[in-house]
Amino acid sequence: MGFELTLASLNASEGSGERFRSIRVPGRCRFSLLPAPAAVILLGLGSSANAQAIPWTSGEFASPWNAQKIFEPSSLPDRTDPNNREEIPPEDMPVKKRQQPGYEPVGIRSGSWMFNPSLTAGTFYDSNIFASNTAPRSDIAAVIEPTLRAHSLWGRHGLDLKLDAQSTTYNQFSSLNQTNASLKGNGWLDITNDTMLLGSFQIAHLNEGVGTLTSPANAISPTPYNLMSGDVTLRKEFNRLTTSVGFRTDSYDYGSTRAQDGTVINQDARDGQVYALHSRIDYAISSTLGWFGGVEGNQRDIRGTPGHTLDSQGYRALTGITVGLSNLVTGEFGAGYVQQRFDDPSIGNIEGPSYRARLTWRPTRLLDVHFNAEQLVTQTTDTSATGVLANAVQLGLDYELRRNIIVSLAGGYENDKFFGQLRKDNVLTSDTRVKYLVNRFAAVSAYYRYTKRDSDIPVFTFDKHLVGMNVTAQF
């Protein structure tokens, strides 16, 4: 969920057949599941500090998976005869999702399952590895990430699984070394032609990088934590009306990190569970315009520090319009209200008008322009417990330089207002990535990312440059 304690999400666009696989949902448009290693190639590896509360999104959530990510864009209905619909050609797919003939992964088929293994190795340079505002230190790191995806090829129902690990080793500062491991998946059960049960889960051991929004200011090593999450959602269609209701739970178990003076920084205060009940309604006014409404209520049971609990209850509600002018413009614009009531009186209530906007403009088949704007509420704990109201604006583009070369540019601004602490932060980010598909078995990507955080509290102010390259072998 976009506004939970951490913003770990399940990519609903996972799994594939030999090229791309489409799922037909009655009354809704088809959506494609990306080939297994595609997401790995797209993202580029690196343990840069995710200084924002609202990270740049990795892609669109087509229905029915927006039923679980209820504030993500939905797809307008395709009212044409299902028996006469043609497969979507690669040039009409979003630039980052295209699978050009000759560059799609092969996969290994075993019965009714398809397996896609991949191995990514890379290196990056970080100009400020400790996110320091006074004494920046630089280093070079190596990253290796094996991944195995498996998805079913059943006629009805479906299951997609991803198992991966990522090891990052620094050349000089071994305190920053980290290993992540994750098993996640999603599946759907076709109850009837217009009723579907959706499920997703993640079991992971992850690390929160130095310089992230919730990392202790003087930490010199990542903060490890274990995450267990799951979501079950029932989705039902009534001709032009689509409804969903679901429940999600996330459990966090944090370890300890180490300070500059060698002392241990205990992060048990961030342990806890987040429970959320969510529901969404979509109504197709026409093939180019729709209305949606979504609401998500949560109960956050977070331990907090002695005398400063992070327990809270709240909700977020948005309503707005969905637009889809063929392949030219697609997006959603929503406005509503957000409220989070913290049990700690020093934090109090965070509430007020809320918004979320997603827009994709495709002036040509070679260029996608993306615009995002969003507000959310989260929380953090360092030496004190605080709530955070974050507002972000992001702009990016994806350009197909050649069939096998994709250039992506992105920039963003975020304002973080802290409650329970006299602090306001402004974050600027820019990101440049180039992906080169050698053939269906190999790809090379390079990236540059700049992050700058200005805070009322100087110790949290920093800027950093990150430059890296990855090579991916896939099958």
Q: Which of the residue ranges 261-270, 302-311, 377-386, 409-418 would you say has the lowest mean pLDDT?
A: 377-386
Q: Where are the beta strands (DSSP E) in 267-328?
A: 272-284, 289-302, 312-325
By the 8 A CB rule, do 141 and 45 touch? no
Q: Which residues pair with 259 in a beta bridge?
A: 219
Positive or negative torsion for Cα 169, 170, 171, 173: negative
173: pLDDT confidence band, cut at 50, 70 and 90?
Answer: very high
pLDDT(30) > 80 = no
Name the residue among 259, 245, 307 with its Cα closest to residue 70.
245
Q: Which residues pair with 290 in a beta bridge?
A: 284, 322
pLDDT in tens, 286-326: 989 999 999 999 999 988 877 778 889 999 999 999 998 87
pLDDT(380) > 70 = no
By the 8 A CB rule, do 449 and 428 touch? no
Name the residue among 15, 90, 10 with its Cα closest to residue 58.
10
What DSSP element (H or E) covers 243?
strand 241-254
Q: Average pLDDT, stretch 123-138? A: 93
Mean pLDDT for the chain overall: 83
Helix segments in 4-136, DSSP class H: 38-43
Name the residue among 161, 199, 168 with its Cα closest to residue 182.
161
pLDDT in tens, 53-81: 777 765 556 678 888 888 887 777 665 55
Number of residues that this document lists for the chain: 475
Q: Average pLDDT, stretch 396-409? A: 95
Q: Take residue 270 and report the two structure tokens written for it.
A: 């961030």
29: pLDDT confidence band, cut at 50, 70 and 90?
Answer: very low
DSSP single-letter state for residue 35: P
What DSSP element (H or E) covers 62?
none
Task: Give the Cα separation of 181 and 250 in Å (integer).
Answer: 17
pLDDT(31) > 50 = no
Coil, helix or strand for 426? strand
List CB contacts of 383: < 8 A, sequence separation 6 or more. 216, 305
Task: Map 244-261 to HEC letters.
Answer: EEEEEEEEEEECEEEECC
Quick one: pLDDT at residue 82? Answer: 54
By the 8 A CB rule, do 73 and 411 touch? no
For residue 363, is it left (φ>0), alpha (ψ between -120 and 50) or beta? Answer: alpha
State the residue for tokens 């959706």. 198
Coil, helix or strand for 238? strand
Q: Take residue 14 and report the two structure tokens written for it.
A: 């996972």
Q: Average pLDDT, stretch 31-44? A: 33
Quick one: pLDDT at residue 59? Answer: 56
12: pLDDT confidence band, cut at 50, 70 and 90?
Answer: very low
pLDDT(21) > 70 = no
Quick one: pLDDT at residue 85? Answer: 55
DSSP string, 325-378: ETTTEEEEEEEEEEEEEESSTTT-EEEEEEEEEEEEEEEETTEEEEEEEEEEEE
Name the residue among 357, 352, 326 with its Cα closest to residue 340.
352
State the residue for tokens 């006074």. 134
Positive or negative torsion for Cα 360, 194, 36, 45: positive
Calculate the alpha carbon distances from 350 to 289, 300, 341, 376, 390 in Å: 33, 14, 6, 10, 11
DSSP single-letter state for residue 423: -
Task: Give the Cα separation of 310 and 419 in Å (integer).
Answer: 12
pLDDT in tens, 441-457: 999 999 999 999 999 98
Task: Give the Cα separation of 409 and 403 in Å (integer).
Answer: 18
Name the residue among 327, 321, 311 with its Cα closest to residue 273.
311
Task: Give the Cα separation of 57 and 65 in Å (integer).
Answer: 15
By the 8 A CB rule, do 210 and 259 touch? no
Task: Give the Cα separation of 221 and 178 in Å (integer).
Answer: 9
